[in-house]
Every structure is written in C-alpha cells, then in structure tokens.
Amino acid sequence: MTEGEITVRRVRITAEAIFEVTDPAAVEHAALDDIASSEFNVSEGETQDEAVESERDEVRGDLAAAVSWLADPMRMISSDIPGIDASETSHQAEELHVDASRVTYPDFAALFPVCECGRESCTACDGFQLAPRTAAALWTAGKLLADHAYDDVTTFGDDPVDPKAGAWMLFDEYPRITWRRNAIWRRQAARSFDDLTTDIESGDWPQPTCPAEEMALHRMLRYATDGVRGGWITFDGTLKDLPKRATDADFNELYDVLFQDTDILELFDASLDGIEDPDDELNQTTGIGDYRPQAWFEPFNNMTPRDRRRPFRR
C-alpha cells in the first residue's frame, strides 16, 4: 500500500424491525408525499412525473409498500459520523398479524363468485350473494378484532373491565353484564371471531351459531363499515384485483341476511337490565332466550354446534 492510500473495510449489518401502525392512512399519505418530492432516474422516453406516479401507484392501498418506502437503511448510521458511508442497501417489508405471523389472504374471488347474468331463471342472481370485497372486509375486521380480544386476555386476565382506563382493545365495547367475566370466558369470546373468519375462509357465510358469535359479528360489521369508510380497510394492494360491485361498501343488508334477530343488542340498553335472564318478565314476553354471559357459548337450537375440541389460536 502506497503512502496516502486508504484501506476500505466493509461491514454488513443484518437487522429486523417490526413497526406497529396505528394510522395506516397517515402512513400511506406520508409515503405518497415523500414520493412526490423525490427525484428518480428515469429511462429514455419516461418523464419524471410518470416515474413519480408509477411509484405512487405501487404504494396506494399497500401498507407494507408504504412502510418500505419510508424505511431508509441508508440512514441507519448518521451521515455526521466521519469515516463511514453506506455503499449499498436492500430491504423488504411484509404485513404481519398482530401476533407477528404473516398475513395471508384467502382467495375471496374464488370463495364467493358473483353471478350477474340477470336471467330470470338464474337462482344465483335471484338471492343474496356475499360479494368478494364485502367478504374480504369482514374477514379483515374479524382478524383484527380477534387479535384485540386475545390481547385483552393477555393484558388484563380476569380483571374487571374499566371503561375509563382507556387501555382495553375490545371488551370495553361489550355489554356491561360481561365486564366481570374471567379470562377463560374472554378467550372463548376471542375464538368466536376466529370461528366466523374460518367460515369465510371456507366459502361460507359467517352466520352466528351462539350469542358470543352474534356479538362478534356485530363488532365485525361495525369495524368493516368504519374501516372501509375511514380508509384503513382498503380494496387495493393485495385485494385490488377482486371484482367490484356497487354494493361492496354497503353492509346494511348483511344484518338481515346473517342474523336471525338482533335481540342481543338490547343488552346495551341500561333501562332493560335483567332482560338477559330467561326468568325476566320482559325476556319471557319477547321470547329472546338466555343471554346471560354464562350461556353465550351454548349453540342455538336451530344451528349446528361447533366442535368443542377446536383449538384456540392464541
């Protein structure tokens, strides 16, 4: 080595980072803004605006792509430190479930084919059809809520729900008569979401077989509706090729199709306290049945019960 030459030594860093995203829409917006202000090396015949728009299309509706864009391995070590520069980097991003397992989407288009032939003789067109995008939104909401429920079990165990605590993920949204149930009950309630999403994965309508699943489905429909309207459940990215229908974002019809009734919602009315008990006069008058928390996992008489030996996901 001659005087003045510099010996370059190379170091590879292998790292893994998991980011918890609480506002997917804000993350996507930040990535889109950053892309818009970036300069790209364009190929012959391509303009800078075309390159920007192409990159923005890759990010729209794809949370992993948005996070991947915002991640900058070149800045792992501050540029203010002398004697070291990043020469090359590579990274990839993938969306995970809350428990850090990979998100794999069912083939909703194959599971829920939609016929729109319009022929009077077509029995498929004549009745209700669960559209692929509607099924996808319900499934996404169910997976999220199941994780929230299991997280509550892990965090709080048998502790009574305190709605003022602000740290509950799900069970503070349940009727007050359930707030003092133990961790075993809550874990079974969490599995109700998994049971309904498993129905969807099997190509079946998510129809409740017991009161716990009724409550779970009401939560799923509420979250799916809010998610689609709020932009945190999207039909872009992995789901962008699902066939579109005019009723994709309309979940109102599902209340009539998937539920036998909505009696369980009466439990939110404080003026009707006690109606959950079969011995209650109003319960007997209306004939709503046993909605005491200890009966929530008993199957309805007209529904096929689920296998009691089925496992818990968490």
Q: Tens digit of pLDDT for each residue in 145-198?
A: 999 999 999 999 999 999 888 789 999 999 999 999 999 999 999 999 999 999
DSSP state of 245: -
Model confidence band, residue 205 (pLDDT cutoffs 50, 70, 90): very high
In this prediction the pTM is 0.70
pLDDT at position 39 over 80: yes
Q: How many CB atoms lie within 10 A of CB 19?
A: 11
Segment 13-39 mean pLDDT: 81
pLDDT at position 120 over 80: no
Determine the Cα–Cα distance for residues 266 and 150; give it in Å rounded to an integer.
25
Model confidence band, residue 140 (pLDDT cutoffs 50, 70, 90): very high
Determine the Cα–Cα distance for residues 295 and 299; give it in Å rounded to an integer.
9
Q: To which H or E segment does residue 158 belong?
A: none
Segment 266-292 mean pLDDT: 95
Per-residue pLDDT at 45: 83
Question: Which of 55-64, 163-172, 274-283 is predicted most confidently?
Answer: 274-283
